[in-house]
């Protein structure tokens, strides 16, 4: 009796990030020319270059400070510079990119000779969580993609090209270089996660349609600054600790926004970086940290504010503008709002 041997491997089929983008493109932008997916592939390539350095950081001369100070007044780590250069190089190879802005560069960067060809604006934090690099704690890359506003010349008016409110984002995402390397992104049609499979060098779909739990059991903030938080933040956190919001919580704080947010996205709860004495407007940057995180949070069913305003409706006034950030599941965000406005 003949035994039938399946013609193809019966393992579940894999979906790579590239396939997922093309599927999204066919479903939502059937007339797209593919320049957007080509742009996204430039970002994923740069993150794979950075990931290769992060994984072997202890073996390469890539740890520690570069002794340079960036526009933020912070010591640039060698890996900050490498990740920044990788993104600039890979995006520079995409003709559809008109202008970019990076945490590591004071001014926006316009690619020469693109007159009229560039359609997109990309803003990014090339390496988030720099203080954690040398101690092998998760770090990441955060990006946000916008359209070049009609009638704006990136050469003549770079500020207006880049400084757009978060509702204008076409896509946003991050890569967290953690126990595994995970890319999470949205184009406004849900939030999807991909795990880098080193054996094939591709990001493979691992978390489709991520939803942030309405209620969680973790709150996340740098408790060392509690005494300098505004009193309404202190009131909320004290109530949370005492179980007065009806739930019990643990505190988890990694100190890398991408990692603290990734956990909040998957497990729910709330992350807060309030105004402090050291950073009266908050520490996190609107364009390339708060906005992409807010887009992802909202797409996953959560919310993100600066304490009062919806993050994505804040009109930027500077490229490196800082804002307070409160982001989490709707249950905790509602509870925060009650104490904030009390
Ligand atoms: P970056 O490394 O890009 O400058 O970002 C660091 C940010 C963010 O990742 C994190 O949430 C926050 O700094 C931690 O700040 P504190 O060390 O003040 O808590
Ligand atoms: Mn950062
Ligand atoms: Mn950074």
Give 108-130 pLDDT, tens digit per residue: 999 877 767 889 999 999 999 98
Contact, 319 vs 100, CB < 8 A?
Answer: no
Give the tokens for residue 216. Answer: 């969680």
Distance in Å, CA 176 to ligand 1 centroid: 14
Give the tokens for residue 126. Answer: 């090339």
Q: What is the pLDDT of residues 267-297, one digit of tens each?
A: 999 999 999 999 999 999 999 999 999 999 9
Q: How far is CA 191 from CA 225, 261, 263, 337, in A?
A: 32, 13, 14, 25
Of all protein residues, the one whose alpha carbon is nearest to atom 11 of ligand 1 is 257
Q: What is the pLDDT of residues 81-106, one digit of tens each?
A: 999 999 999 999 999 999 999 999 99
Distance in Å, CA 132 to ligand 1 centroid: 9
| Closest atom, ligand 1, to C-alpha of 222 | 19
Q: What is the 8-class DSSP label of residue 314?
A: P
Contact, 288 vs 87, CB < 8 A?
Answer: no
**Based on the number of CB atoms within 10 Å of its own CB, is 302 exposed (0-12), middle (13-18) or buried (19 or more)?**
buried
Quote the mean pLDDT of the chain. Answer: 92
CA dihedral 11, 12, 14, 20 (to 10 degrees): 170
Question: What is the C-alpha to C-alpha distance for residues 55 and 179, in angstroms, rounded to an integer?
Answer: 10
DSSP string, 102-142: ETT-SS-EEPTT-TTT--EEEEEEEEE-GGGGGGT--EEEE
Q: Which residue has the higher pLDDT, 302 or 342?
A: 302
Distance in Å, CA 151 to ligand 1 centroid: 36
∠ CA 78-83-87, rounded to 5°: 150
Give 3-state DSSP helix, strand, coil % of the chain, rounded to 5: 35, 25, 40
Ligand 1 pocket, mutate which of 124, 175, 282, 283 (most atoms under 8 A from CB):
283
Ligand 1 pocket, mutate which of 82, 105, 128 (most atoms under 8 A from CB):
128
Q: What is the pLDDT of residue 62?
A: 66
In the chain, where are the structural domains located? 17-207, 218-341
Query: Which residues lie at CB < 5 A from ion ligand 2?
Result: 125, 128
Question: What is the C-alpha to C-alpha distance for residues 282 and 292, in angstroms, rounded to an integer?
Answer: 16
Q: Check pLDDT > 90 for residue 29.
A: no
Q: What is the pLDDT of residues 220-236, one digit of tens each?
A: 999 999 999 999 999 99
DSSP string, 224-255: GGGGGS-HHHHHHHHHHHTTTTSS--EE---S
Query: Looking at the CA of 288, which ligand is closest?
Result: 2
Contact, 101 vs 159, CB < 8 A?
Answer: no
Q: Check pLDDT > 90 for residue 299.
A: yes
Q: Domain 17-207 - what CATH class?
A: alpha beta
For residue 304, give the 3-state DSSP assignment. strand
- As its CATH architecture, domain 218-341 has 3-Layer(aba) Sandwich (3.40)
Q: Which residue ranges have their beta carbon within 6 Å of ligand 1?
A: 103, 125, 128-131, 222, 255-257, 260, 273, 283
Q: What is the pLDDT of residue 151?
A: 92
Contact, 108 vs 100, CB < 8 A?
Answer: yes
């Amino acid at each position: 009796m003949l035994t039938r041997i399946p013609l193809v491997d019966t393992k579940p089929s894999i979906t790579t990030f590239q396939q997922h983008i093309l599927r999204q493109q066919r479903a939502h932008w059937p007339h797209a020319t593919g320049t957007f997916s080509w742009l996204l592939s430039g970002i994923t390539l740069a993150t794979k270059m950075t990931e290769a350095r992060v994984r072997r950081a202890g073996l390469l001369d890539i740890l520690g400070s570069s002794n340079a100070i960036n526009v933020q007044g912070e010591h640039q780590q060698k890996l900050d510079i490498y990740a920044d250069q990788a993104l600039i190089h890979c995006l520079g190879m995409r003709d559809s990119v008109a202008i970019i802005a990076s945490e590591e560069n004071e001014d926006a960067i316009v690619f020469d000779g693109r007159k009229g060809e560039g359609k997109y604006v990309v803003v990014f934090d090339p390496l988030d969580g720099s203080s954690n690099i040398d101690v092998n704690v998760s770090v990441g890359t955060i990006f946000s993609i916008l359209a070049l506003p009609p009638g704006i010349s990136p050469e003549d008016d770079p500020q207006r090209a880049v400084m757009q409110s978060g509702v204008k984002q076409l896509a946003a995402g991050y890569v967290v270089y953690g126990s595994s390397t995970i890319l999470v992104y949205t184009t406004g049609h849900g939030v999807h996660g991909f795990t880098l499979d080193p054996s094939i060098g591709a990001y493979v779909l691992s978390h489709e349609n991520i939803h942030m739990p309405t209620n969680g059991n973790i709150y996340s903030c740098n408790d060392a600054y509690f005494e300098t938080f505004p009193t309404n933040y202190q009131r909320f956190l004290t109530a949370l600790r005492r179980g007065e919001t009806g739930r019990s919580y643990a505190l988890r704080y990694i100190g890398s926004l991408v990692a603290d947010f990734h956990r909040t996205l998957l497990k729910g709860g709330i992350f807060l970086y309030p105004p402090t004495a050291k950073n009266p407007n908050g520490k996190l940057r609107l364009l390339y940290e708060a906005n992409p995180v807010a887009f992802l949070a909202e797409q996953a069913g959560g919310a993100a504010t600066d304490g009062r305003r919806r993050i994505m409706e804040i009109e930027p006034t500077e490229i490196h503008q800082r804002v307070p950030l409160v982001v989490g599941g709707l249950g905790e965000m509602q509870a925060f709002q009650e104490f904030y406005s009390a």
